[in-house]
Amino acid sequence: MSGRERLLQWLDSERDRQLDFLRAFTRIDTCNPPGDTTEAADLFRAFLDQEGIAHRTEAPQAQTPNLIATFAGSGNGRHLVLNGHLDVFPVGDRSAWSRDPWSGDIADGRVHGRGTVDMKCGTSALLFVYAYLHRLRAELPGRVTLTVVSDEETGGRWGSAWLVENCAKEVLGDCVLNSEPSGLETVRFGEKSMLWLRFRIAVPGGHSAYPHTGGSANKVAAALIGELLAIEAMAPEEPETVRRTLDRVDVQEASERSLGAGAAKVMRRISVNIGVMQGGVKINMLPAECMLEVDFRLPVGISRASVLEAVAAIVARYPMVSFEELLPGGPEANWSDPTHEMVGHLVRHAGAALGQTPQPIVSLGGTDTRLWRVKGVPAFVYGCSPAGMGAADESVSIAEFHHVLRVHALAAWDYLIAGR
């Protein structure tokens, strides 16, 4: 039997084992914050030990261990990196859940529990992909590295960001596969970035019967908000290959199906959310202070600097307004070549199983793939449906779990073999 045939056989014959692992992982509380993932890391290490796979732990903090496993194949070739995270969103309002958030119960063809969608499904899938490729290492050229990280939900500082900075030689590689929830209809080759600004408006204030004396910080805020919202009209300078990809009607349709009506536009424009607005203390007082926190989401082709420049030009006309950047130094909107060979492998295998070809799009939210992209390593995301992610009664389709595992396994195989 050829290596590929054996791979296909394991994908099918070990479905129960794959599912059991996902359920066991789901039963472990890894919510972040607080982000203690030691028990989940133990589960992954036990699996790797059972498979006879060498691994090591990089733990810049004891409670947030990151696992690295890497093997060299039978000859020179490409270095493929698999990346997933252990931590999940907090449970939120426990009373909104109809079952234990850590149950791992199966009902209606789904595994139930917090983090099943984001991304216990995907990280479990990549663990099995790695194990199967490892079994076939005598037939595979190149190298495969598995990275299972502990801090994604609070920014990645102790997770992928730490690995990329401190273990670059091992974890950068030639291409990255990530299995965050993308929806089966799309492959994510890029993502928008966020820019968070806080504005403070200060005027003398006073009694509302004497508006001529002190001015109103809230009135200034209203005018300022109008001007900030107008930044949404800023046109991105999309790189040619991105523009050509996103202009395609089938890509736009797939993004709307996957992300909701209007998504195709949102993907390529700035969105401005006035998330927090606090001003005034009493109905008959002129508010002396108002504070705004504004979340800008930047598409590919609009830099943080250009938005900051536009904001500074507006604020220059309002001497009573000051602003600061929250989380300065954050990432730019980022992308990998949508015509990269790996996109072809993912699309082909997913399409063959679904009878419908997924389309390459830019993600509205963020993933750890940005950390590789900024280092020049192409990174792509394909995973289960994002529906229910972070909500009460989160659950993942078992069929989608097996599908995602299969697509990544076959795409990884083809990518490695083609690099011989």
Residues that bind Zn ion (CB under 5 A): 118-119, 180
Q: How far is the CB of 143 from Zn ion (least distance, A)?
A: 25
Whether the Cβ atoms of residue 103 and residue 112 lie closer than 8 Å to each other: yes
Q: Is 58 in contact with 171 (CB distance < 8 Å)?
A: no
Q: 84 or 360, CB closer to Zn ion? A: 84
CA 119 – CA 389 distance, rounded (Å): 9
Among 121, 190, 182, 194, smallest CA distance to 155 is for 194
- Closer residue to Zn ion in complex, CB, 58/180: 180
- CA-nearest of 202, 200, 198 to 287 is 202
Place of tokens 């299972």: 148
Residues in the chain: 420
Instruction: Report, in Å, the least distance between residue 272 CB and Zn ion.
Output: 24
In angstroms, what is the minimal distance from the CB of 188 to Zn ion? 12
- d(CA 383, CA 380) in angstroms, rounded, equals 10
| Shortest Å, Cβ 299 to Zn ion | 20
Least CB distance to Zn ion at residue 334 (A): 16
Q: Which residue is nearest to Zn ion (CB)?
A: 118
Q: In the complex, what is the shortest distance from the CB of residue 403 to Zn ion, in angstroms, rounded to a whole number? A: 18
Q: What minimum distance in Å lies between the beta carbon of 246 and Zn ion?
A: 23
Residue 36 or 180: the one with the smaller Cβ distance to Zn ion is 180
Name the nearest CA neighbour of 363 among 239, 188, 237, 179: 188
End-to-end Cα spacing for the chain: 20
User: Based on CB atoms, which residue is closest to Zn ion, 180 or 400?
Assistant: 180
86 vs 314, which CB is nearer to Zn ion? 86
Pick the closer one to Zn ion by CB: 195 or 384: 384
Listed residue (101, 119, 122, 124) closest to 43, CA to CA: 124
- Residue 70 structure tokens: 């890497």
Name residues whose C-beta falls within 8 Å of residue 356's C-beta, 6 or more positions apart in sequence. Answer: 185
Ramachandran bin of 108, using left for φ above 0, alpha for ψ from -120 to 50, beta for the remaining angles: left
Q: Which is nearer to Zn ion, 73 or 183 (CB)?
A: 183
